[in-house]
Amino acid sequence: MSSRPAAGGGRWVDVDPARVSRWIEGFAGRHGAPQAAPFGYGVLLTAPDGATAELHAPPGAPTDVGLPGFLAAAATPRRLGLLLARKGAVAVGVADGERLVASKVDSRYVQGRTAAGGWSQQRFARRRDNQAKAAAGDAADLAVRLLLPEVGSLAALVCGGDRRTVDTILGDRRLAPLAALRVERLLDVPEPRHAVLVEAIGAARAVRIVVRDPQPA
């Protein structure tokens, strides 16, 4: 379970779907038995002391179903597409529940920033731009081969890495059906490798919770 600050106050907590019920029990133990109300993102828990927890449905899970339906849907295995990209590296995969059932990792050299006294900025920028475009084209081809045939079976597409690079890849017109399944969240991942792709499955399936403690009197 990971935690990080949330915009507007509070903190994000990522919880494995199988542990959400236990997490709610802990929340109730700290703040009192909460009231649950369905919202567009999932479920809002409001405790007697004023603490709240926004439970966001994992990718592909239904929302506005109430707490029992939310818990059941969150724990249901789904088939997800994964697209991780950063600079010239890309990893694509298909996860069926917790298992990675298909994957491919590739990389192409994309030059970093030039050192002082090196090439002129314009020449450097052109070369780097060409390298980045070629890398994005290769990544799009990879997604076409591996992910596009699976579109009909995918509940959602979860992306990670560098947003601009991911946007460029999914801008390929061939991938329009895949881009339509993309969820808003972008996973924070290092340079995509097979091990990173496997680890990303847990993050993609997690129930994201915004916890806000009660305001002092």
| pTM of the predicted structure, to 2 decimals | 0.85
Same domain, 30 and 60: yes
Confirm whether 92 is domain-assigned: yes
Q: Would the pLDDT of 5 be above 90?
A: no
CA distance 198 to 144: 20
Confirm whether 217 is domain-assigned: no
Same domain, 157 and 100: yes
Same domain, 30 and 54: yes
Same domain, 52 and 102: no
Same domain, 111 and 29: no
Same domain, 66 and 83: no
Same domain, 45 and 62: yes
Tens of pLDDT, residues 67-117: 999 999 999 999 999 999 988 789 999 999 999 999 999 875 444 555 444
Sheet of strand 35-39: strand arrangement: 2-5, 11-15, 207-212, 52-56, 42-46, 35-39
Confirm whether 38 is domain-assigned: yes
CA distance 91 to 109: 15
The sign of the CA dihedral 207, 196, 141, 107 is positive
Give the range of the structural domain holding residue 66, as residue numbers without chain letter. Answer: 2-77+206-212
DSSP 42-62: EEEEE-TTS-EEEEEPPTT--
What CATH number does residue 161 fall under?
A: 3.30.420.60
Same domain, 167 and 192: yes
Number of domains in the chain: 2
Tens of pLDDT, residues 110-155: 445 554 445 456 655 555 555 556 567 788 999 999 999 999 999 9
